[in-house]
Amino acid sequence: MDLFGEFEFHYTWLALGLVLAVAEMAIPGVFLIWMAGAALVTGLVAWIVPIGVPLQIVMFAVLSILAVFMGRRYIASHPVVSADPKMNDRGARVVGETVMVTQAIEGGSGRVKLGDSEWLAKGADAPVGTRLRVAGHDGVVLIVEPVA
């Protein structure tokens, strides 16, 4: 007696593949998409070739492992390069900008105005109103130098 009767498991594999693909889009981690591909391939093979459920499970497991490792290798060898590497690094974006001292830089630290905001600054002593250039940053503290 067949344990699963006439139930067609290929639909289950295809549905699982779609659910995993949607889950990858909802919570991206570049992991579930490979398992989704394995489930879809398993579903298509089970639809075309009449194979038992235990063999389908083994096929899914093997394809998942292969797909994950091959996918990780592909991503490692083809990294995604950002169009703007400084996009989320506000301090790096302001390097080279001119700032004005709003609180005298004494003992190596003070405050400068950049645009409409004030930043903590490190650099050579400078009185209020002096124009300086941003040479770098240390976290949220700008490192300033005299304008050449």
**Rounded average pLDDT over 24-35:** 87
129 or 90, which is more confident?
A: 129
pLDDT of 12 over the 80 cut? yes
Q: Tell me 16's DSSP state.
A: H
pLDDT at 1: 42
User: Which residues make up the CATH 2.40.50.140 domain(s) of the chain?
Assistant: 90-146
- pTM of the predicted model as reported, rounded to 2 decimal places: 0.56
CA distances from 48 to 14, 41, 52, 58 (A): 13, 11, 12, 17
Strands (E), 8-138: 98-106, 109-114, 117-122, 131-138
CATH topology of domain 90-146: OB fold (Dihydrolipoamide Acetyltransferase, E2P) (2.40.50)
What pLDDT, on a 0 to 100 scale, did the predictor assign at position 8? Answer: 80
- Residue 57 CA to residue 48 CA, distance in Å, equals 16
Pairing relationship of beta strands 141-146 and 117-122 according to DSSP bridges = parallel
With beta carbons less than 8 A apart as the criterion, state whether 39 and 24 touch: no
pLDDT of 5 reads: 52
